[in-house]
Amino acid sequence: MVSILAGLVTPLYFFVIYLFVTGHLNRENLVPYFSINIPTIQQSVWMAGTAFLLLVPFLAGGYYVQDGLRRMLIQVRKGWSLLLLFLLGSMFIPFVNGGESLENWVLVAIPFAAFHACTYLYAGLRILPLLLFWATVAFIIGFQYYGPGW
């Protein structure tokens, strides 16, 4: 118990020492700035296409994981459950102290990509992942040439 408490307090202790030595020890530097906001997104056909090509494979992958869960080992089931909890927890991070940039969404991309990849791995009909892949490639090329691009 003492080692846990020492491990939790030690980084704060060194941070307070650093602030004291540099002369910046005040309440604003110790209490973090915290705000919740919803990022503004320009609605367009390109954004709808992007959402469609991201959500359809994600939902299909979630279905395939759920369908194969009964045949998996207990450790693998726990791993998928933890990955889902990680996804649900990381979905709130972009709304805390967020801006207009996309770096807050990086933690969401990790579990999202795992469920997304299950569509391509576990699909019974091999034409579904093929169609999704080439539709995504065509969308990206169309977005770069005819859309607003990056």
> What pTM did the predictor assign?
0.74
User: What is the model's pLDDT at position 41?
Assistant: 75
Q: What is the pLDDT of residues 103-136, one digit of tens each?
A: 888 889 999 999 999 999 998 888 989 999 999 9
Task: Name the band, by pLDDT with cuts 50, 70 and 90, for residue 29.
Answer: confident
Q: How many CB atoms sit inside 10 A of residue 111's CB?
A: 21
Angle between helices 127-146 and 106-122 (to 10 degrees): 140
Spacing of C-alpha 150 from chain mean position: 20
